[in-house]
Amino acid sequence: MNDLKIFSGLANQPLAQDICRYLNLPMGKISLGRFPDGEISCKIDEDVRGRDVFIVQPTCPPVNEHIMELLVMIDSFKRASSYRLTAVIPYFGYARQDRKDAGRVPITAKLVANLITRAGADRVLAMDLHAAQIQGFFDVPVDHLYAAPVLNNYFQSMDLPHDELVVVAADAGSIKRALGHATRLNVPLAIVDKRRVSAETTKSANVIGASVAGKTALMFDDMISTAGSICSAADVIHAHGAKAIYAAATHGVLVGPAIERLKAAPFKGIVLTDSIPLADDKALPNVTVLSAASLLGQAIKRIHRNESVSMMFQ
């Protein structure tokens, strides 16, 4: 492990520090700042020639700032002659712009992947990409992690009555994810039938599958952004008699009216990982933040040792 170096951008330094503690390694020394005109300055404060370097930098809001910071750091390490450079991106911004769903629009997820590759990244380590096919947008190897074990272990540790549990998919797009959680937890699955009224408004109507009446409902998603979908689905299953509702997501983006919606929604608990740092003004009393440091740290160790990452999930 002597050749392994872990550095962090400014997006989520606490997560990088937790990864280093897990691996029993010191954090790499790097100076990041801003010139008077707002340009990003970067200087690596230790020798990285011939080292296996990992840069921890989720591209969370402000997305463009953190992407540019990542690109500048990658260029710095390539010019400092690092042996191999892995961009550790726990949350990948622009992931929802992964296809042309209308005429004359960009595929920005591919553009960002091109930028990271051309800047000099040799590998990418990501977690719960919004669309799995984004792995193919990169022209370098991508290791894709899932936070499902972290979330499932948390609910199992709560000792909730197993015969009263049901996993609920908030919409058709989350059925596959919800089915995976239901299978691993060995509980039934219900699906909220959501009808879209307009581009800004959705209306959730019916519950399909297992009954939620008198049950504890677990709702899983890859991210909570404006919280519109998951909150409207929670209202539906609450109206259908669910006695307790928990929401779980890997990425707590929480933008726009998300906090107000989560406050008003009938959630007994909301579970997120620390892929994105949770600001103090977003720390609701019923929000629990789980650490993904051990998951990312184990993956980093395996990549460094040229071992299988997929074995972590078998």
Residues marked as catalytic: 194
Q: What are the structure tokens assigned to 133, written together?
A: 């096919």
40-44/30-34 β-pairing = antiparallel
Cis status of the peptide bond prior to 62, with omega within 30 of 0: yes
* Side chain identity, residue 63: V
271 phi, psi to nearest 5 deg: -115, 125
244-252/216-224 β-pairing = parallel
Q: What are the structure tokens assigned to 93, written together?
A: 């911004």
Radius of gyration for the alpha carbons in the chain, expressed in angstroms and rounded: 20
Question: Residue with structure tokens 């990003």?
Answer: 40
In 170-215 the beta strands, taken as DSSP E runs, fall at 189-196, 202-209
44 phi, psi to nearest 5 deg: -80, 125
52-56/40-44 β-pairing = unpaired
CA distance 312 to 155: 20
Query: Could you tell me if 274 and 252 are in contact, meaning their C-beta atoms sit under 8 angstroms apart?
Result: no
Q: What angle do CA 133, 139, 142 make, to 5 degrees?
A: 60
CA distance 71 to 66: 9
Among 173, 188, 281, 292, residue whose Cα is nearest residue 233: 173
Question: Residue with structure tokens 């010019």?
Answer: 79
